[in-house]
Structure 1
Amino acid sequence: MTEPQSIITQVSASQDPVPVMHEQSEDFLDDDSLIHLNIQENHYFITRDQLMSLPESLLLCLFPSGVFMDRTGEVITNLTSQDEVYIGNFPADCFEYIMDTYVRAQEDLVNYPVDTVFDRGQSSHKEQSRFFSFAAPAPSTASSEAEILHEKPTIIVLREDLDYYCVPQPALVFPADASEELKNDLLNELMVQVKLAAGSYLSSERSVFQGLRSSNRLKRPAKGQTKGKLGPAEQHLMDMLCSSGFHDTSTWGNRAQEPGKTVISSLSLCRLANETTQAFRDRVDEAKHKYEQELKARASMEPLTPSNSHLHLSPTPSQQNEPKRKSRLSAIADNVRSRSASRNRSASTQREPHSPTLYELVPKPNINAKLLLFWKKPARKCWWGEEDVDLDVELRCNYDSASQQLTLHASGVPSHVTIPVKLHIRRVWTLELSVVGVE
């Protein structure tokens, strides 16, 4: 059994990119449905439907100008599979992270439809969607927006764009005979080294909520406390995300610094913890297994009851206690009532135990309905923060911590020094909800 190919295929620049899953139908391999992407010399084929099904916040990252452009920067007006769409300022590993997340969600939608897998008794609509399209036609019976979050794979798209500004704390002391050229070289060397070191330091901080905790709006810690208190808006945002799939210790799925810039971009794609996830299906299977074991244990402990227990004789009342005369209609009515009660008693002894419903086995996920405010409506939050850090840099200077001065080496050979630096950080968060299978 051959292993299925990946939804996206990466080939080296020396090879011609080929469409993936070439065993698909002819309409899928139509030239007009395929797009050739060149992301930093990594080549991919993707369908037009699949690309356009990504949320707006991600499409703007891939195509900031809103158009397809070739390697020379010219706009591609009539796009075909023969054209090469060039994307030079977006990391290829981030693109693969996006595609892997959405492909996994699409597979859950197709292979594990909630109404079919859990038999919730609702009128389900068999969704016919092309394998590579993340968006399927809407069901004929429109579900409420709140129920959609229980029925469809849902992804929380959280992106952070971070700009940082470095202010070295030591003073740079020049020799008396230093030329202007030397002074400019040393200043430039200092700032380059500090910016590189600061970028490495900030890139290594992968905690999602570290940025919220370093906001300038953070309330200072009270006496005896080590951490400050988040503001009401920041705390509300964090609570909403943590109740929807994030955790206090969550890390960014992808974090990278743009080459030659003091800009760090981070992305986290978090699956909403609803009925479409593998974790929920595992809990249901475990609950079913536990329920079946309890039924077997109960059956082995209860004594067997004879099937003809309803045929036991009962004493016949004395003729003296009956009325002397009874109308024919009254006698027929009494007979019918007696037989109906007998049938009900017999059915009650043979009826099987009631099978528990889905939410009797596993509690229904408690989904924050406020997430719907971000469905197809990206929201942004911007704030400033600052940090005092010690950075290791390589300079042609000596550092005196007492006087906080940098003086030029007599030999002029670069060496490693650790200097204090104040970082001013501007963060912009973009939050969007993406529901797979709903256009």
Structure 2
Amino acid sequence: MAEPQSVITQVSADQGLPPVMQDQGQDFLDDDSLIHMNIQENHYYITRDQLMSLPESLLLCLFPSGVFMDRTGQVITNLTSQDEVYVGNFAPDCFEYIMENYVRAQEDLVNFPVEEIFDRGLSSREPSRFFGFSSPNALSPAGHSEADILHEKPSIIVLREDLDYYCVPFQPLSYPEDASDELKTGLDENFISQVKLAAGSYLSVQTSVFQGLHSSNRLKKPQSDSPDQPTPKLGPAEQHLMDMLCSSGFQGTSVWGNRAQEPGKSVISSLSLCRLMNETTQEFRDQVEEAKKNHEEKMLSTRAQSESPSLTPLQSPSQQHNDTKRKSRLSSLADNVRSRSASRHRSSSRQRQDQAPTLYELVSKPDINSKLLLFWKKPARKCWWGEEELKLPLKLYGQVNPETGELLLLPDGPIVTVEVPIKLHIRRVWTLELSVVGVE
């Protein structure tokens, strides 16, 4: 099968929420009551509108079956305020991380509407009510495109990683001579469990977002393990994906906002919610306020200089009479022309100073990658494999043969610390989606 050339493989259209979830609680939607959510015995209350405004990729993580269920696993067919929606396979701190970001974006949307900056409903002569400067779009109302949404609404880049890992230990093992098959099986299972836990701890502390991209089997690894060896170069698809994310708010050193191993599974789930740096952010508002302050100080300084009296040397009456005599009729005419021209120039300059600058004359327009619109309401996935050979420290009941290095597994007895060499096979699945707050 040919390898796809796209940066990220698009999720098929039938991956959306099932109709059952879309239809649940339609009567409940009419009133503004709260949904009681129980996430691993942590209780939260959220409106249905708030919940359904979350991006599809996150809703499918919260409700994999696409329906609301109670504690007993029964589907809630008619959701009311008395029902308890139970979620047992999602981390509570991850849910809190999600809601903190979306509540902050919603507050920016309500308290600092960008429409007041652009001020499209007013004429070009009226200043913006929010910043006190004339709107750039009011001066040029034409050309409003879909890409402008990324400048007008709070937007969040949702990047999720589901990591599965598989351990292949190379440690030679032995068992007591009188051990039964059942005991050997139990010792093996305990050994593998300890290996998986140690591997999970090793991977969990790797919080760099883009470290996984450099671990793909498709990349050419350096021949030596020396730390001086350069990092393997990304392929064109991986580099394109990283460039798009880094130009939209991520940094090369970005870390996952939430990363945790699922209990009892060799699965690590990571999530990063990156706010798109556009006109809705506090950083942009601070830049505008600072630019406004600097502009006003400059205007006051310029006005003070223009209104200060000019100092010219005094001349005696005889000198003035002689100078007047020396002026010819032609030079007097030229002086009059220059005087009228200077007067018009001062008047035009004064008019330009009195006219408020546009928003983007004060602050540069944020440079937003329009390719993000490809992932708006269209979650996409990318999957790749990687492998790594390492030694994991384990604490087990047993003894190590110093000559052969063989590990004797025991059901009890002294605890030994041994470094077990393993090969770690890692499968990563990235899900990328753009979420625009305030747009249905």
TM-score past 0.5 threshold: yes
**Matched residue, 2:139:** none
**Matched residue, 2:51:** 51
**Matched residue, 2:174:** 173
Letter in 2 for 1:122: R
- Equivalent pairs counted in the alignment come to 366
Shift in alpha-carbon separation, 1:87–1:341, aligned structure 2, 3 A:
same
Where 1:146 maps in the other structure, the secondary structure is helix
**Which of 285, 297, 300 is 1:281 aligned to?**
285
Shift in alpha-carbon separation, 1:30–1:122, aligned structure 2, 3 A:
closer
- Residue 269 (structure 2) pairs with residue 265 (structure 1): yes
Structure 1 stretch displaced more, 237-246 or 384-393 = 384-393
Shift in alpha-carbon separation, 1:222–1:289, aligned structure 2, 3 A:
farther
Where 2:95 maps in the other structure, the secondary structure is helix
Q: State how 1:148-167 maps to structure 2 within 5 Å.
A: 148-167=149-168
- Residue 426 (structure 2) pairs with residue 436 (structure 1): no
Where 2:106 maps in the other structure, the secondary structure is helix
Shift in alpha-carbon separation, 1:346–1:159, aligned structure 2, 3 A:
closer
Shift in alpha-carbon separation, 1:403–1:342, aligned structure 2, 3 A:
closer
**Matched residue, 1:73:** 73
Could you state the TM-score of these two structures normalised by the residue count of structure 2? 0.76
- Separation (CA, whole Å) in 2 of partners of 1:407 and 1:66: 48
- Separation (CA, whole Å) in 2 of partners of 1:283 and 1:30: 41
Letter in 2 for 1:52: M
- 1:351, distance to aligned residue in structure 2 (A): 2.5
**Matched residue, 1:191:** 192
- 1:162, distance to aligned residue in structure 2 (A): 0.7
**Matched residue, 2:211:** 210
Letter in 1 for 2:121: S
- 1:182, distance to aligned residue in structure 2 (A): 2.7
Q: Which runs of 5+ in 1 are unaligned?
A: 1-26, 125-140, 307-314, 319-339
- Identify, as 1 or 2, the structure richer in helix: 2
- Residue 410 (structure 2) pairs with residue 412 (structure 1): no
Letter in 2 for 1:362: V
Could you state the TM-score of these two structures normalised by the residue count of structure 1? 0.76
- Separation (CA, whole Å) in 1 of partners of 2:250 and 2:201: 25
- Residue 95 (structure 2) pairs with residue 123 (structure 1): no
- Residue 394 (structure 2) pairs with residue 390 (structure 1): no
Structure 1 stretch displaced more, 103-112 or 344-353 = 344-353
Shift in alpha-carbon separation, 1:294–1:398, aligned structure 2, 3 A:
farther
Letter in 2 for 1:232: P
Q: State how 1:422-433 maps to structure 2 within 5 Å.
A: 422-433=423-434
- Separation (CA, whole Å) in 1 of partners of 2:100 and 2:411: 55
- 1:83, distance to aligned residue in structure 2 (A): 0.7
Q: Is the 8 A contact 1:156 1:433 kept in 2?
A: yes
Q: Which runs of 5+ in 2 are unaligned?
A: 1-26, 123-141, 311-326, 331-339
**Matched residue, 1:93:** 93
Shift in alpha-carbon separation, 1:261–1:93, aligned structure 2, 3 A:
same
- Report Cα offsets for 1:415-435 as digits up to 9, x if no partner: 222222211111110000000
Letter in 1 for 2:435: S
- 1:142, distance to aligned residue in structure 2 (A): 11
Letter in 1 for 2:101: T
- Residue 234 (structure 2) pairs with residue 230 (structure 1): yes
Q: Is the 8 A contact 1:32 1:81 kept in 2?
A: no
Where 1:396 maps in the other structure, the secondary structure is strand
- Separation (CA, whole Å) in 2 of partners of 1:28 and 1:408: 59
Letter in 2 for 1:162: L
- Separation (CA, whole Å) in 2 of partners of 1:65 and 1:153: 29
- Separation (CA, whole Å) in 2 of partners of 1:50 and 1:259: 28
Structure 1 stretch displaced more, 50-59 or 182-191 = 182-191
Structure 1 stretch displaced more, 222-231 or 105-114 = 222-231
Q: Is the 8 A contact 2:398 2:410 kept in 1?
A: yes
- Residue 247 (structure 2) pairs with residue 243 (structure 1): yes
- Separation (CA, whole Å) in 2 of partners of 1:157 and 1:143: 26
**Matched residue, 1:328:** none
Structure 1 stretch displaced more, 221-230 or 72-81 = 221-230
Shift in alpha-carbon separation, 1:261–1:345, aligned structure 2, 3 A:
closer
- Residue 107 (structure 2) pairs with residue 107 (structure 1): yes
- Residue 295 (structure 2) pairs with residue 297 (structure 1): no
Identity across the alignment (%): 67
Shift in alpha-carbon separation, 1:302–1:264, aligned structure 2, 3 A:
same
**Matched residue, 1:368:** 369
- 1:436, distance to aligned residue in structure 2 (A): 0.4
Where 1:351 maps in the other structure, the secondary structure is helix
**Matched residue, 2:220:** 219
Shift in alpha-carbon separation, 1:341–1:302, aligned structure 2, 3 A:
closer
**Matched residue, 1:380:** 381
Letter in 1 for 2:251: H
Shift in alpha-carbon separation, 1:212–1:29, aligned structure 2, 3 A:
closer
Letter in 2 for 1:106: Q
- 1:298, distance to aligned residue in structure 2 (A): 3.1
- Separation (CA, whole Å) in 2 of partners of 1:413 and 1:88: 38
- 1:226, distance to aligned residue in structure 2 (A): 2.7
Structure 1 stretch displaced more, 410-419 or 175-184 = 410-419
Cα-Cα RMSD:
3.0
Where 2:427 maps in the other structure, the secondary structure is strand
- Report Cα offsets for 1:194-245 as digits up to 9, x if no partner: 1111111111111111111111112224887331011111111111001100
**Matched residue, 2:12:** none
Q: Is the 8 A contact 1:39 1:92 kept in 2?
A: yes
- Separation (CA, whole Å) in 2 of partners of 1:35 and 1:145: 33
